[in-house]
A and B are shown apart, each in its own frame.
Chain A
């Protein structure tokens, strides 16, 4: 379970996240949607225990992320947008390293890896250097790295960008499977149809603040729009901006 109350994060004088509050229940997939620079990644990184909030409270499985970042990391699996890791380790060496740091028993690690590696079709890449893998394959490695320890909470920051349709579908199935096991998930994406497909509830943020939240159906109903993209544009007040830019481009191209 994730609980965020009045969360604020300043970078210098600029507030990346301001007074943000929401909750993600057990077995729920919560989508965090927002335009570029709206504070999604900052929120995700705070919830993963990577950065500290300036004020407010963020709890993961009842643990305050500011006070117990290491304990929080034990319970969280974080999948970043750009997987950056040890490029001169082979894939299996990387998984072994993660297994050791996370204290996963060797037998369990082997069993889990066998299943995941097969699911993501990574067998032939296990003895190759991570640096030699394509972006999509690195993304798969990053996904496995994050769920290897059977985390209670999974935080996914635009992580499906590099996956091909087949792998994206497999990943979605894995997410649903984890959800059925009672795992909480927070999911940020720009691909709104994907959010519509995957998320139980969504929260929209702009300028670091939550502007609305609810189920996709609720939001559509409230804003009298047919799909999530229109809801998103309306609520983030991007509709008029989009028309203005499109018109300007028409004139200049």
Chain B
């Protein structure tokens, strides 16, 4: 049971987390501003209410088709997309917050005290940022509770289950990939590639199951078109009996997994970090590259050594993966489809921002002692944020070219678009007047309005670039689109200088 004392510890820890993040934010000037920010952030009830109200309009937007046409098919489609939101955010937020808790060592002061600190406090702490996300689903759930009460109850239960699944999988990802550093040996690259592939496969598991269900089960006429896997199962609430059984099965799987993994993460958070030590003495290699390149290499090494930090990069892949699979299944990828996926990947690529910024959270004081200009630091971060979307976009171009060779001409998009979206968000976050470097305090859940603003800015730039591509013949549209993209990138570069 949750006691008052547990809540008190959670509040202290939450306040500590807010303080440590705000302390590193270079845009916060002086003690007074810091105090104000901490005071605001530490009023948990007010903050949760504010966040909930903030997410509500987006929930309304998501649910509008349901209000407009009260049809089972539309309700199923809306519920499926509504159910994805808490799942994705809970997964992402759990991994990101665990990484933050681990690197900031907020539990350290409690270790020596005679307090019974247990894993439930960890979940409680993480749920402060997760609970307001329920607002995304609230309009749809309330609508269903009023007009289809039984189905509404199921919808609410599915949304809560989605939270639990995302939260649990976040713990699984962090416990498997978050604690141990690689050995630094020659086989590390292969291991990392395999780990990343494993992560993508793991996160795409639900879509893969659905694909299998479509191909094998539905064709065998065994279960017709009934969806048994979350989040598609959240849209199947009009088969209440089967749906309830599916829900129970999901919970029967996820609750024991949650109980197991939350304790595992908790124990490992309390333990000293595992760091591999190479026993063999070997010659070290001295090399000196440009500052931007060295900072980029540093970020990549750190990200690939703690694979859990890559989750931010995997979210955009997870978002486009089902659509890519569906397009490939239909008639293969066209030039326009490939371009559209690259645009989407680059736009959602900014979701890795938190991972890229938090890489330096423990070492920012050290970086401040080096003669590093803000411009150099921001440029390295632009490259770090772009590099994985560029690599994935190139894979997409390769795939598109296999189906339609002319798709090869989209290669420049693979480079330009991720660089543009990264430049926009980082120029915005580092737009404070001061020249000092630091880590802007930013999280997608807590700064959702900022995130939407950044998406709008990226959307405007991408809209201008995409307009000639989708409206003019390819011969004129593509070169004009590249010209605009180059101009936008050049403008962003000039702004940094």
Contact = CB atoms under 8 A, between A and B. Distances in A.
Contacts of A97: 294-295, 298
A226 interface: no
B150 to A, nearest CB: 51
A69 interface: yes
Interface in A61-106: 69-71, 73-74, 76, 78, 80, 83-93, 95-106
B430 to A, nearest CB: 15
Given A84-B363, A97-B295, A102-B371, A69 B181 contact: no
A237 B114 CA distance: 37
A77 B400 CA distance: 52
A74 to B, nearest CB: 4
Contact of B184 (A96, A105, A129): A129
A126 to B, nearest CB: 4
A146 B369 CA distance: 9
B370 A128 contact: no
Contact of B289 (A12, A100, A113): A100
A248 B371 CA distance: 50
Interface centre among A11, A78, A97, A106 (most CB of B within 10 A): A97
A124 interface: yes
B305 to A, nearest CB: 5
Interface string B49-77: 00000000000000000000000000000
A70 B282 CA distance: 35
Interface in B282-309: 282, 284-291, 293-295, 298, 301-302, 305-306
B225 interface: no
Given A50-B368, A129-B276, A69 B435 contact: yes
A141 to B, nearest CB: 11
Contact of B290 (A76, A98, A100, A128): A100
A233 B102 CA distance: 41
B43 interface: no
Interface centre among B295, B305, B363 (most CB of A within 10 A): B363
B31 interface: yes
A100 B288 CA distance: 5
B445 to A, nearest CB: 25
Nearest to A98: B370
B184 A70 contact: no
A168 interface: no
A76 B414 CA distance: 42
B287 A11 contact: no
A124 B301 contact: no
A100 B291 contact: yes
Contacts of A113: 286
Nearest to A54: B30
Nearest to B31: A12
A48 interface: yes
Contacts of A123: 281
Contacts, number: 121
A132 B366 contact: no
B253 to A, nearest CB: 34
Q: Do most interface residues of chain B lie in helix, strand or loop, or is the interface mixed?
A: loop
Contacts of B305: 88
Interface residues of B, number: 42
B277 interface: yes
A123 B281 CA distance: 8
Contacts of A86: 298, 302, 360, 362-363, 366
Interface in B401-450: 435-436
Contacts of B295: 97, 101
Interface in A125-157: 126-129, 131-132, 145-146
B371 A71 contact: yes
A57 B33 CA distance: 25
A104 B286 CA distance: 11
A94 to B, nearest CB: 9
A210 B306 CA distance: 47
Contacts of A78: 369
A110 interface: yes
A80 B370 CA distance: 13
Given A90-B184, A132-B277, A70 B371 contact: yes
A97 B370 CA distance: 10
Contacts of A11: 31
A98 B360 CA distance: 15
A12 B30 contact: yes
A98 B298 CA distance: 11
Interface centre among A80, A84, A87, A88 (most CB of B within 10 A): A88
A127 B371 contact: no
A50 to B, nearest CB: 5
B267 interface: no
Nearest to A82: B365
Given A96-B294, A129-B184, A131-B275, A89 B365 contact: no
B181 A129 contact: yes
Given A96-B294, A109-B288, A89 B301 contact: yes
Contacts of B289: 96, 100
B286 A101 contact: no
Given A95-B286, A99-B286, A131-B275, A73 B306 contact: no
B273 interface: yes
Contact of A96 (B30, B277, B288, B436): B288
B5 interface: no
Interface in B22-42: 30-32, 35
14 contacts: A70-B371, A73-B370, A89-B298, A90-B184, A96-B287, A96-B288, A96-B289, A96-B294, A101-B294, A102-B371, A103-B291, A109-B286, A126-B284, A128-B278
Interface of A: 11-12, 48, 50, 69-71, 73-74, 76, 78, 80, 83-93, 95-106, 109-110, 113, 123-124, 126-129, 131-132, 145-146
Interface of B: 30-32, 35, 181, 184, 273, 275-278, 281-282, 284-291, 293-295, 298, 301-302, 305-306, 360, 362-363, 365-366, 368-373, 435-436
Given A101-B295, A127-B284, 4 more contacts: A93-B301, A96-B287, A129-B184, A132-B277
